[in-house]
Structure 1
């Protein structure tokens, strides 16, 4: 075996690592997210012990609800990347198709896929753990609407960044929404976060959805306050994300959409 050739292979991939966000996120971003998210969850469980009712229901519902947010963002960003990978961006937008129609189509596709995944997850949870998420009744509707709204505005912001800067930041299509995960109070209350993180969580509409979910599970009360705050914040961020995406697309169109296919 030739050590020089082995060294050459190692150096080649280290140089690629330096210029690849995908490799950086695989090595540092995802481990950091796991440590923060599950570390906070473990601390919450340790402190609460038997004081919090319905922990299994809370965790499984949190897991399934988070998939709704992720699906809302994923369909927008990854389907945009599909057009770039297939070098089809120019063809799509040289047609009579409007930008708003493309976005609406992707949102519709995401909703259909989300619905299928959600029903499957709820049934699987019922079979494996005898936890019935249909017990939320009509409250599932506002929960799902708010979760999807959150996924949409994150998806539009990430799509805007990809349209503007190209595929070199495509890792955001998978990692983007997870930046908000530690502040979204998926498995633990906002009060379990450090003070500075609580401030960020209070500005995150997703956190109010999960706080509302815990209120329903643990007390049976309708989380009107949480629904209202989440809706207002989601609406504000959705408007901002639409503006950002349209401006990013317009700028990219000015520079030439064909550059995104390279």
Structure 2
């Protein structure tokens, strides 16, 4: 059984770090806000210019695009919130101290997951409210569908964050670019802004191995067809379970390998 006090202590540590730096908070909010405004205003321009002329097509396309942007930011910020909390320990050369403390690896991971949710709420919640003000799109109005989308996206984000953290343990800060770049590799294959059928035939099976694909296909089903595709969400969650389990195993193996290789003491900047 894990210790709630030790997990709480780690979350409190990261919260103090976040609260003490307004630049970190601004950075969390800046990128989702920038993307929402840029893509949202672009979509508004296309609608006003008559680029979408089919009956009801403009409203559907606008809602689908803005909804996809917001869900993509939830996925991206969830992964980066996990990984950033971890990599800040490496930047401050504090990781060896944490790993030598009574804190268990599982407790460390839980604290990173909770910190991911805190960072996500700070960064994305204001943007979802501004999307209502600027574009009349209410992501929260999706109700239970949004809750299901969120769960599938977050487990995938944590899987990627956990795997990247394991690689950082073993390879050091030379692999830190994975924190920013790996998730963007998923974007063109995850059917974020277009249906899977848009991809070349040989890429479509690869796309269907990614949980975000099921979320964004489900989003289009809700906004265009007004149905919740529980079958898609169940498949996405099942794949999430496999990927998260593999990520946990990989993190444990990479941590053991890092201890044997002595790379933990070389994890600073």
Question: Is the TM value for this pair above 0.5?
Answer: yes
Residue-by-residue CA offset, 1:194-238 (whole Å, 9 max, x unaligned)? 112212101111101100010000011111111111011111111
d(CA) in 2 for partners of 1:227, 1:123 = 25
**Alignment of 1:236 onto 2:242:** yes
The aligned counterpart of 2:97 is 91
**Alignment of 1:260 onto 2:267:** yes
d(CA) in 2 for partners of 1:179, 1:252 = 26
The aligned counterpart of 1:136 is 142
Q: Which of 159, 166, 179 lines up with 1:160 in the alignment?
A: 166
The aligned counterpart of 2:252 is 246
d(CA) in 2 for partners of 1:100, 1:132 = 36
Deviation at residue 133 of structure 1 after TM alignment: 1.5
TM-score normalised by the chain length of structure 2:
0.77
Deviation at residue 48 of structure 1 after TM alignment: 8.5
1:1-262 equivalences in 2 (<5 Å): 50=54, 52=57, 54-256=60-262, 257-261=264-268
Deviation at residue 49 of structure 1 after TM alignment: 6.8
TM-score normalised by the chain length of structure 1:
0.79
Instruction: List runs of 5+ in structure 1 lacking aligned partners.
Output: 1-37, 39-46
d(CA) in 1 for partners of 2:100, 2:165 = 19
Deviation at residue 261 of structure 1 after TM alignment: 2.5
What is the alpha-carbon root mean square deviation over aligned residues?
2.1
DSSP 3-state at the match of 2:143: helix
Q: How many residues align?
A: 219
Q: Select the structure of larger CA radius of gyration.
A: 1
Runs in 1 of length 4+ with deviation above 6 angstroms?
none
DSSP 3-state at the match of 1:121: helix
